[in-house]
Chains A and B, each alone.
Chain A
Amino acid sequence: MASSDDNTEFMIDMLRECGLAHKTIIFVLEEFDLFAQGKQRLLYSLLDAMQSLTSQAIVIGVSCRLDADQLLEKRVRSRFSHRKLIFLPSSVDSLQRLMEHLLMLPEDSHLPTKYVMEYNARVTSIFSDKKFKGILNSLTDSDATTSHILRFLFRVVSYMDMDSGLLSMQSFMNALSSMRRQPKMDSLQDLSILELYILVCMHRLEDKEHSSYNFTTIMKEYKSVQDAYRTSDNYSHTVCFRAFEHLLDRELISFADKKGKALEYRPVKLLISSHELAQSLKLNTTCPAVLQKLLDRERYM
Chain B
Amino acid sequence: MSQTVTPRRTTRSSASALSSVPAAPKYRPKPSPRRQLLVTAAAGPKDYDSVGELLDALPCRRAQAMDLIRLLVPAPALPLMLYGGAATGKTRTLLLALTNLRPSQRLVYASLRSLPSPRALFASLLSQLGATSSSTFSRQRLPEKPSDFISALRNALTGIVSQGEVVYLVFDNLDVVRSWDKGDQLLTLLFRLHDLLQLPQVVLVYVSSATPDAYYSMTGSVEPNYVYFSDYTVDEARDILIRGHPNPKLYSSFLSVALKPLFRVTRRVDELSAVLEPLFNRYSEPLGDLKAVSDEGIKRRLFEHVQPHLAVALSETFSVPMRASMHEIKDSGSAGKGSAKRQLGGREGLSTELEFHMSMSAKYLLLSAFLSSRNPATLDAALFDSTGGSDNRKRKRKSSQASLDMKDTMAEEMLMKGPGTFPLERLLAIFQCITSVSEDKHEVECADNKEPESGMTDLMSDVLLQLSTLCNSNFLSKSRSCPLESSARYRSNIDEDLALKVARSVSFPLSKYMYRR
Contacts and interface: CB of A to CB of B under 8 A. Distances in A.
Interface in A125-149: 146-148
A192 B225 contact: no
Interface in A11-47: 31
B85 interface: yes
A105 B27 CA distance: 12
Interface stretch (B97-105, B121-129, B211-219, B507-515): B211-219
A237 to B, nearest CB: 8
Contacts of B231: 190
Interface residues of A, number: 65
B411 to A, nearest CB: 9
A162 B34 CA distance: 8
The 6 nearest A-B residue pairs measured at CB: A265-B418, A183-B211, A157-B30, A190-B231, A236-B315, A193-B264
B417 interface: yes
B280 interface: no
A249 B28 CA distance: 40
B274 to A, nearest CB: 12
Given A147-B13, A183-B83, A212-B416, A160 B316 contact: no
Contact of A111 (B31, B78, B264): B31
A184 B211 contact: yes
Interface string A170-190: 000000001001011011011
Interface residues of B, number: 63
A265 B230 contact: no
Given A239-B265, A246-B266, A286-B234, 9 more contacts: A147-B222, A147-B223, A162-B38, A187-B211, A190-B267, A194-B264, A216-B416, A236-B315, A261-B491
A276 B222 CA distance: 29
Q: What does DSSP make chain A's interface, helix, strand, loop or mixed?
A: helix
A265 B13 contact: no
A186 B210 CA distance: 12
**For chain B, what secondary structure do more than half of its interface residues adopt (helix, strand, loop), or is it mixed?**
loop
B266 A233 contact: no
A160 B27 CA distance: 15
A238 B316 contact: yes
A160 B222 CA distance: 23
B17 interface: yes
Contact of A160 (B6, B34, B83, B218): B34
A146 B38 CA distance: 30
A78 interface: no
Contacts of A75: none
Contacts of A186: 211, 228, 230
Contacts of A79: none
Contact of B5 (A101, A162, A233, A238): A101
Interface in A201-238: 212-214, 216-217, 220, 233, 235-238
A115 to B, nearest CB: 8
Most B CB atoms within 10 A — which of A65, A154, A217? A154
Contacts of A264: 418
Contacts of B24: none
Nearest to A189: B230
Interface in A42-76: 64-65
A90 B11 contact: yes
16 contacts: A94-B8, A147-B13, A147-B222, A147-B223, A154-B77, A181-B228, A183-B83, A183-B213, A192-B264, A193-B264, A194-B264, A216-B418, A238-B317, A239-B316, A251-B211, A251-B214
Contacts of A150: 13, 27, 78
B251 interface: no
Contacts of B214: 251
Contacts of A87: 9, 11
Interface of B: 2, 5-6, 8-9, 11-14, 17, 27-28, 30-32, 34-35, 38, 67, 70-71, 74, 77-78, 83, 85-86, 209-214, 218-220, 222-223, 225-226, 228, 230-231, 234, 263-268, 314-317, 412, 415-418, 477, 491, 493, 495
Contact of A187 (B8, B11, B85): B85
Contact of B315 (A64, A151, A193, A235): A235
B31 A165 contact: yes
A178 B416 CA distance: 43
A88 B10 CA distance: 10
Contact of A265 (B67, B226, B416): B416
A147 B16 CA distance: 12
Contacts of A88: 9
Given A162-B38, A239-B316, A102 B27 contact: yes
B145 to A, nearest CB: 11
Contacts of A158: 30, 70-71, 74
A192 B263 contact: yes
Contacts of B263: 192
A31 B219 contact: yes
B415 A154 contact: no
Contacts of A258: none
A198 to B, nearest CB: 11
Given A64-B218, A162-B34, A183-B212, A191 B267 contact: yes
A153 interface: yes
Name, among A64, A87, A237, A242, the residue most crowded by chain B CB atoms within 10 Å (CB to CB). Answer: A242
A272 to B, nearest CB: 12
A282 interface: no
